[in-house]
Structure 1
Amino acid sequence: MSDDHEQLALLKGAVRRPKVPDGAALAPELPVARVAVDVSLAHLDRPFDYLVPEAMHDTAVPGSRVVVRFAGQQVSGFVLDRVAESDHTGRLGRLSRAVSDEVVLRPDVARLVRTVADRYAGTFADVVRLAVPPRHATTEKRAARTPAGPVEAPADLSGWDAYAGGAEYVSAIAAGDRPRAVWSALPGASSGHDIALAVAATVAAGRGAIVCVPDATDVARVGAAMADVLGAGRHVELTAALGPSARYRAFLSLARGLTRVVVGTRAAAFAPVHDLGLVAIWDDADDLHAEPRAPYPHAREVLLTRAHDAGCAALIGGYARSAEAQRLIESGWCDELGPSLPARRASWARVAVTGADERAAAADLSGGRARLPHEAFTLIRSGLDAGPVLVQVPRLGYRSALACQRCRTPARCAHCAGPMAQRSSDAEPTCRWCGRDGATWSCGECGSVRMRAVVVGDARTAEELGRAFPQVPVVTSSGEHVRERVSAEAVLVVATPGAEPATEGGYAAGVLMDCGLMLSRPDLRVAEESLRRWLNATALVRGAEAGGRVLAIGDQTLGVLQALVRLDPAGHARRELAERQAAHLPPAVILAAVEGPVDELEALIDHEWPQPFELLGPVEIDDDSARLIVRVPRHRGGELAEALRELQAGRSARKLSHLRVDVDPAQLA
């Protein structure tokens, strides 16, 4: 019995008690704090009022972190406001602890978080985690408090002269105006420099800027241009690769107003930049801009929301153009910045399309033939005489899909019916599901024991090229082994989309392999995404005036490949948007994908959705869940998000399972 009492005493001693007694005096002014608690339950997605003890009067300021007692637990939160009285008629609890007086959630960012949560049918708590990084106390105490020096307006805007209205756009920013534009950039290293010029004009006008790019490689490229134009120490970089201390230090520099420019990946869209004058996003169609965590906001939409709220300039740039960017042009919200036809022809490599060689593509596992068409072989050979050559391959691996050599039936595992694949040249085919060896495989249709490659990855392509050009080094860049740069010597570079390394002076030639395979993905945005990947690779090749040539291997009659040959992303975006408008697909409409158990989704068919609406499904996506799609006209998008929030709140209050809700998903198969 005594042991039990001792254990109980230990447990009681371990319980963390509030540091402020109930009888303590309250703050002399504005004694009520409105707190956003860190709770993701949809039915509790609202601020809660707490009394501010006198001891916390100077530290529990709006935008600071606090700890409160909520539902019997100590929960962190942010002070949104301090008021004199509460609308709550019951007894108010008190703040348990003021973490620090550091303002980490500025009012404009808090408004943005609330707007984004409402737009994507999410909660404030889920979005604020994307906006405010975890606290690093040591960094908070030691971080610099000296502001960066002034920046002069750029005198030379010649980089923007290649675009109709480009110089006028930057001049308008320098004058304090808020122009908004969609920019079709020319290839080369100048794109980062051009962005830096626009940012310099913004900073010289006394305002701040946010630049969002897809990945860390782009951050380094644009950041180097920013340091060259603005000077050292006048911008910060925010990426997921930064450690907790470095990330929080950069965040504090912006929150304290010491630095007014940030270059980063999608999380930078929420950065607390003071006096925001410009938001810019590069390659907005890249799926890396879409947040993979609920409620899945897209950096482009976050930045456009900030531009509207702050009344600032906006720039959407890239080699390709998304349908969403085209809609902004056609709605009149954005102007169009594009190169003249002579500049486009001179700056881009000359592109041609050739059909695949079916005889070479049909090589079986014992064959030694490369699947390169004769035209591609000739281009690579001549390109290697002038420098490095880039070969883009759409898939990772060796042979990631196999079929019967005789009847073309997909090769399936005899045990689990999973797809067969080959991981290397000296490996036996194995099942991608159960891993069983396929040495004894035979076709269930014709009995053949020979296989052919249906999908060939980068490793197999590199092997084929090594045999075809035995005197030339072959390097790969893909997956977890991505090269940032390669030498300007004669070398063959095999890379998957997005992993293409840069090279000094550009590649002498480029080959885009298996274009039909890239277009075969079951995705709403497959044509747009394919063209984006091809243009990004083509942009790494020298311009036509320098002899640069690109060969795409695919069906010459496809419209998207013809857009590549014409180097016309704007024309393709116009057609893509028109097709989506005719088919009632985003961005012409607002679409929400709701995933959960089949029976629960079927019950939503009779839910009160905003009129007019259309339901698609529910359709099973695996053994445990299904998908229901709800789409409404764009002007009803806010009402749809509100209906989804109410649905989630009702389920949360009844302690029902959570439904996955994705408004305007980046990918929809």
Structure 2
Amino acid sequence: MTTVARVVLDSPLPQLDRLFDYRVPAELEDDCVPGVRVKVPLRTGARMSDAYVVEVVSEGDWPGELSAVEQVVSPVPVLAPEIWSLARAVADRAAGVASDVLRLAVPTRQVRAEKAWLARDTAWSPPSVEPTPVTGYADGVLEALLADRGRAAVDAVPHPVDVGTADDPVWVPGWAATLAQAASHVVAREQSAVLAVPDFRDVTDLERALLAVLPPERVVRFDAKQTNGQRAKALLQARTHAVVAIGNRTAAFAPATELGLVAMWDDGDASFVEPRAPYVHTRDVALVRTAQSGAALLFLAHARSTDVQRLVELHWLQELAPHRVPTPRVIPTAQQAGAEGFAAQARIPSTAWRAAREASQHGPVLVQVANPGFGTGLVCADCGERAHCRVCGGPLGSPHRGATPQCRFCGALAVGFRCPTCGGGKLKPVGQGAQRTADELGRAFPGTRIVVADGSRPLDEVPARPAVVVATRGAEPSVPGGYACVLLLDGERLLAREGLRVQEDVLRFWTNAAAKGAPGAEVYLVGIGGKLATAMALWRLDGPAHDELVDRRALHFPPAVRVATLTGTDEAVTAAVEALGDAVVGAVLGPVPVPEDPVPGTVRAIVRFAYAHGAEVAATLKAEVIRRSSTRRVLPGGNRRRAAPTLRVRLDDAEPFTEV
């Protein structure tokens, strides 16, 4: 009887995105098991391709003679069956290629990690876990949901929480404490949990919270800061026993012995969008994985995304809110109302300035601003024309006073700048960035320590001592016990951007910063009124998400519908749109030229379709991509070669709806 290995090739070509049958030689049968890396011949024996074994069967579907597996690269099964099923489903949903997803899920081979895993003590088991009660919510509600493997949108506890002991306090954000406590209930049943967060600061906070309730052997990191060796070690550890896998986008693909919980913090963060093909959002990976595994699903946030709000209004997710937990005291103030002197220059109204000055005597004060650097931009000192980069045309900025102007897009230094309009060589800053705000606050708060935190000067934590911390959105460091006061500046500037998700993004920025305040700390929202200010003041943040979703439904914009972006030649894009037929909802947006594309004549069209037609649309568009990729053209002299792809497809693409 012939043993046949069905393998997935490590190839990005869409026409090779299927399982191939290969005969397993007798000498390789013991090592050729599902999940191992192998080398197989492709078309000719001289051309070898890397592949993963998906399954081993006694007979194949091919009636003819099969080529043989050339080599088992390693006997270690690195591709778990559930990860293959997840990769296949995610790729099909995004009209992509499964091998592209597997590159996100499985790191390159690391011999040292594999040898250590093979030499492990198989009789060893990690310490048992006692579940920790989930605090901040009605007694037993979240624990019961986990036991029933339910699904919920959870409003996070909006202040720091101490998860340590009286002798050794451990302060973490409220959401991190909730996730750690929930994970302890899952691991206590010898089930695994997958927890995905946006960036490295969140990973650090979550790890600290987990280590306060779980032994270190039960916590495994999957994040972008790891080396391939660390990722390989983590992957094999997660396959050995029940653990909590934490990290950013890659954590969603962590293997699990028995998955009991998938959770995400702040799913609306743009960091969850994978920048590589097939460009899937981690939220979609989480939804697919819970549907396949039956695990519990939690989306935690202060300000809910419209995508999660849609699932709530479909009653697919239930709502959970903190019980008898103090909310931030948000005080909307008019811009510059009564401000004087340096406080006015720093854009702080007098009431907020007095509160911040008093609070700074007892602890740190957080000031959130919109932009890093000294100013938001540079203009010609003679004519006022906006200064742009000579290399890429991007806006010029200055990281601090007296620094050489630098492009905000490509980073090129603008040495010897000359204005193309008047020929002037002097530039002056406009607007106020983090550094300029810090300079003004240094004058407004004499004798107080001023700290700047932004992308170029990241800080995880500042001590609970008097200080003024000026931070850009998303870069706010934590404080043990929380900030004594929080000022939210530049709200009008943040809301002035154009894009579908501007309002929900700004609400996330504000609420995440406000939640870093101590219980009872005052939060001043400067220069904002209307519904957003009311929602912040009442801490009723589901209303804006609902209103946004109502508007999206009326306009047929995501997430009320799904979208597909088609890029390529005019003929290819038009043919793909026609192939979709009646699945398209509303008018097709485009085709329009794409001047930034390196291929001349490239156009782009956006089609919208209902969620119910998602599988049909993805399959149709992928078939079009394969058809275009498989054609050949005849060159002068009779040479034949494969043409460059004339059609590119991206589903659920947010870029066309977002201002850069």
Deviates more, 1:610-619 or 1:113-122: 610-619
Match of residue 661 from structure 1: 649
Match of residue 348 from structure 1: 328
For residues 187 and 478 of structure 2, the distance between their equivalents in structure 1, rounded to whole angstroms, comes to 30
Match of residue 497 from structure 2: 521
Deviations 1:456-511 (A, max 9, x none): 22122222222322312211111132100111111111111111100111111111
Q: Does 1:127 align with 2:101?
A: yes
Unmatched runs of 5 consecutive residues or more in structure 1: 1-28
Matches within 5 A, 1:230-379: 230-255=214-239, 257-340=240-323, 343=325, 346-356=326-336, 369-379=345-355
Instruction: Give the letter for the 1:102 counterpart.
Output: V
Question: Offset of 1:153 from its aligned partner?
Answer: 4.5
Match of residue 554 from structure 1: 527
Match of residue 19 from structure 1: none
Instruction: Give the letter for the 2:233 counterpart.
Output: R
Q: Does 1:425 align with 2:408?
A: no
Asked whether the 8 Å contact 1:210–1:268 carries over to 2, the reply is yes
Change (3 A) 1:379 1:266: same
Which of 16, 38, 54 aligns to 1:80? It is: 54
For residues 105 and 562 of structure 1, the distance between their equivalents in structure 2, rounded to whole angstroms, comes to 50
Which of 614, 636, 639 aligns to 2:616? It is: 639
Match of residue 622 from structure 1: 595
Question: Offset of 1:203 from its aligned partner?
Answer: 2.0
Instruction: Give the letter for the 2:470 counterpart.
Output: V
Match of residue 552 from structure 2: 580
Which of 62, 82, 106 aligns to 1:108? It is: 82
Instruction: Give the letter for the 2:566 counterpart.
Output: V
Which of 31, 34, 40 aligns to 1:62? It is: 34
Change (3 A) 1:168 1:450: same
CA RMSD, 1 decimal: 3.0
Which of 491, 494, 497 aligns to 2:467? It is: 491
Instruction: Give the letter for the 1:229 counterpart.
Output: V
Change (3 A) 1:482 1:52: same
For residues 152 and 54 of structure 2, the distance between their equivalents in structure 1, rounded to whole angstroms, comes to 34
For residues 600 and 473 of structure 1, the distance between their equivalents in structure 2, rounded to whole angstroms, comes to 60
Q: Does 1:204 align with 2:188?
A: yes
For residues 179 and 92 of structure 1, the distance between their equivalents in structure 2, rounded to whole angstroms, comes to 46
Residues paired across the two proteins, number: 620
Instruction: Give the letter for the 1:64 counterpart.
Output: V
Match of residue 432 from structure 2: 456
Instruction: Give the letter for the 1:180 counterpart.
Output: R
* SS of residue paired to 1:101: coil
Question: Offset of 1:325 from its aligned partner?
Answer: 1.1
Match of residue 571 from structure 1: 543
* SS of residue paired to 1:108: helix
Matches within 5 A, 1:405-420: 410=386, 419=395
| TM-score for both structures, normalised by structure 2 | 0.87
* SS of residue paired to 1:543: strand
Match of residue 229 from structure 1: 213
| TM-score for both structures, normalised by structure 1 | 0.85
Unmatched runs of 5 consecutive residues or more in structure 2: 162-173, 632-641
For residues 250 and 24 of structure 2, the distance between their equivalents in structure 1, rounded to whole angstroms, comes to 32
Question: Offset of 1:48 from its aligned partner?
Answer: 0.8
Deviations 1:7-56 (A, max 9, x none): xxxxxxxxxxxxxxxxxxxxxx6511111011111111111111101111
For residues 283 and 489 of structure 1, the distance between their equivalents in structure 2, rounded to whole angstroms, comes to 28
Question: Offset of 1:208 from its aligned partner?
Answer: 1.6
Instruction: Give the letter for the 2:644 counterpart.
Output: S
For residues 391 and 50 of structure 2, the distance between their equivalents in structure 1, rounded to whole angstroms, comes to 52
Q: Percent identity?
A: 37
Change (3 A) 1:413 1:137: closer
Instruction: Give the letter for the 2:89 counterpart.
Output: T
Matches within 5 A, 1:149-188: 149=126, 151-154=128-131, 156-157=133-134, 159=135, 162-164=136-138, 167-174=140-147, 177-187=148-158, 188=160
Instruction: Give the letter for the 1:642 counterpart.
Output: A
Deviations 1:287-330 (A, max 9, x none): 11121111011111111111111112111112221111111211
Question: Offset of 1:155 from its aligned partner?
Answer: 5.8
Q: Does 1:92 align with 2:103?
A: no
Change (3 A) 1:154 1:121: same
Deviations 1:147-191 (A, max 9, x none): 54353452634x0xx335x622313434xx211111001122343
Asked whether the 8 Å contact 1:420–1:438 carries over to 2, the reply is no
For residues 327 and 363 of structure 2, the distance between their equivalents in structure 1, rounded to whole angstroms, comes to 18
Question: Offset of 1:282 from its aligned partner?
Answer: 0.9
Deviates more, 1:183-192 or 1:644-653: 183-192
Q: Does 1:193 align with 2:177?
A: yes
Match of residue 370 from structure 2: 394
Match of residue 478 from structure 1: 454
Change (3 A) 1:408 1:650: same
Asked whether the 8 Å contact 1:181–1:337 carries over to 2, the reply is yes
Asked whether the 8 Å contact 2:390–2:414 carries over to 1, the reply is no
For residues 59 and 375 of structure 1, the distance between their equivalents in structure 2, rounded to whole angstroms, comes to 72
For residues 51 and 415 of structure 1, the distance between their equivalents in structure 2, rounded to whole angstroms, comes to 55
Change (3 A) 1:511 1:76: same
Question: Offset of 1:514 from its aligned partner?
Answer: 0.8
